[in-house]
Each structure stands twice: as structure tokens, then as C-alpha cells.
Structure 1
């Protein structure tokens, strides 16, 4: 029963667009860039992580909610150097003793070409619920998620009691793929 419920949640989210709608893309990009700038100014350690990383993904708003079974998702912008190279969609699914909702921002730093490539190919997945950490100010704790990948969860908001088992997965779409999909939808 529980596996069937998680499978339904996965199927529902798998149909979501990876990139924001074309009319929302400029605003979304601006939110992502403003978050990077704000966090870099507040925390010099993060500023150097943005500069030193081979690439990074910024998810300005990730939300999750549920009762026993939960699902969550968020759109992100993916950068190599200081240039956006594409978009990402994170989906998260959990089952266990949980109730409520939560909202946060998520940063992923790819410290090698191989790590970024794995992300782009959809090969990074894991139990994000167990792997994310929150520091004293909510923006300075990070955990190693996979080889050469550091994840930071920031700006926690909401109320959620959570002792669950779950997983997160990521889908990537390049700038060219996003433009092609926008064109198809406008035809």
C-alpha cells in the first residue's frame, strides 16, 4: 500500500515541467541570482563555494507536505561558472511518522565536472531528508550528498514533524531543451 502511494506521488510529479514557464523564466532567474547574491553577502564561506565550485544548482523554493506520506518539489537553476546552463526539478517523497509542511531553499555545489555531469544525467538520487542539515543561522551547514556534491538547505520555514524514510531525485534540462519545449508549447 505504502509503495503504491509513493509510486502515485512520483508519477504525479514526473509530469511536471523542469524549466519554469517561459513567461516566468526571467523572474525565476532573477530570484535565483538574488538568492546567490544575498547568501554570498551574508556568508563569506558560501561566497567562496559559489566561486570555487565547478557548477551549482539553486532551488529558491522547495516545499514538502503530507501526513504519513509526503511529497515535495522545487524548480532550480543550474550554473557552470556564473552562467546559467539549464534548469532542474527536484522531487522528494517520504513515508513514515510525519505531519505538516515545510518550505526551504536548496543549494547544490558540484565540485567536479563528473559530479555536474551525473546531475545532468539524472544519476544523483538519495535520501535527502536524512542528508540535509540546518546550521545555527539556517544557511551555513552543508553535507556531502554524493562524491564531489555538497548540499545546503537554507531559510527553513514551516512546521513539520518528520521521522521518515524517503528519497529525492533530480531532473535536468539544458537551456536549449527549455527553449525547444517553450517553442513547442507556443505552436
Structure 2
């Protein structure tokens, strides 16, 4: 019995969506905090222009391991740690589905900085999502870029590995879970 190419493409698409919806391996809060601190230390060491945002922003969330996979339709997910005024206040998850010309997989770090209390509060309401026109500053090794806030939010991504053209952040949705 011969399967048509459409069947194989559909099967591959389903696999990509399932893998993307799983996100990074579920870790304990301690493991996630360790990963977030390691990525924050790396950013502070290698990107001093971004490092100051950790101290000057109202808050931030670090997603140390975001995974993205795509075959025309793509998905991304990850788990993160939320900080407000330098204090750990909770955890977050990231989900994204997008459609367009794309193929491959990629892992990256994503940090969302909140310039104002209002932007921070919007995130904590669990209805926060990045609009289709949201853009991120993509930091590459040895290249320093300035980060600008748009509507009180700035997004930084740092590729970790994989093969995929670009990293899109528009359409991302977030969940927030405060510490007990």
C-alpha cells in the first residue's frame, strides 16, 4: 500500500505540534530556577547593555529553554520564572502556534522585560499575549544590540541551537502561576 505525500506531511505536522506542545522537559521549580539563573548570568556577562534591564525594569520573566518546531504550521512552548522588583514571584508557561513558510526546529532563551507596573500587572492577569506585530531583539554571540520597549514590554531572545530561519514571538500566549 502506498501512502500519498499529503499523508506524510500531515503526519509530520502532527508530530511537530505534539512535540511543541510538550515544551521543554517538565522540571521541578528548583531545576527551572537554576536554569533561569544560569541564563541570566550568561546574559549579564555577555550582553551588558541588556544586563541593566534586570535592575531597571519593574519585572521580567526568563524562559531558559523554549523549543520551537515547524513544518508550515509551527509551535513553541517553554516554562519560565517570573520576577518582580528582583524577587521571584511565580512561574509562567509560554505557548505559540503560527502559520507561514517555516521548517525546522530551534531552541532559544526568551526574556520578557516589563517597564511599568501596569505591564507587569497585565502579565500576571493570565490573559497576556504578544500581538502579531510584537518583535524581539535577537542577540547573537559578540553582537550588542539596543533593546527598546513597546507598550511597556521588551523581548529578548538568544538562540541556543537548531536550524530554523528566525524566531517569531507574535501570537505567544502566557500562563502565570504565583508562588503559594
Compute the TM-score of the two structures, normalised by the length of structure 1: 0.74
Q: How far has the Cα of 1:119 moved from its partner? A: 0.6
**Is the contact made by 1:98 and 1:160 (CA closer than 8 Å) also made in structure 2?**
yes
Deviation string 1:73-115 (CA, Å, 9 cap, x unpaired) is 0100000122110000011111111111111000111111110
Greater displacement, 26-35 / 152-161 = 152-161
Q: Which residue of 2 aligns with 1:35?
A: 39
**Is the contact made by 2:130 and 2:169 (CA closer than 8 Å) also made in structure 1?**
no
**Is the contact made by 1:54 and 1:110 (CA closer than 8 Å) also made in structure 2?**
yes
Structure holding more helix per residue? 1
The question of 1:103 aligning with 2:107 is answered yes
Distance 1:57 1:80, change over 3 A: same
Unmatched tracts of structure 2, length 5 or more = 1-12
Match of 1:70 among 71, 74, 81: 74
Q: Which residue of 2 aligns with 1:45?
A: 49
**Is the contact made by 1:95 and 1:166 (CA closer than 8 Å) also made in structure 2?**
no
Q: How far has the Cα of 1:52 moved from its partner? A: 0.6
**Is the contact made by 1:95 and 1:165 (CA closer than 8 Å) also made in structure 2?**
no
Q: How far has the Cα of 1:39 moved from its partner? A: 1.1
Query: Helix, strand or coil for the counterpart of 1:101?
Result: strand
Aligned equivalents of 1:83, 1:112: Cα separation in 2:
16
Q: Which residue of 2 aligns with 1:58?
A: 62
> Between Structure 1 and Structure 2, how many residues are aligned?
162
Q: How far has the Cα of 1:65 moved from its partner? A: 0.4
CA RMSD of aligned residues (A): 3.1
Compute the TM-score of the two structures, normalised by the length of structure 2: 0.76
**Is the contact made by 2:73 and 2:102 (CA closer than 8 Å) also made in structure 1?**
yes
Aligned equivalents of 1:92, 1:67: Cα separation in 2:
14
Q: Which residue of 2 aligns with 1:82?
A: 86
- Aligned structure 1 segments of 4 or more residues deviating by more than 6 angstroms: 162-165
Unmatched tracts of structure 1, length 5 or more = 177-187
**Is the contact made by 2:102 and 2:165 (CA closer than 8 Å) also made in structure 1?**
yes
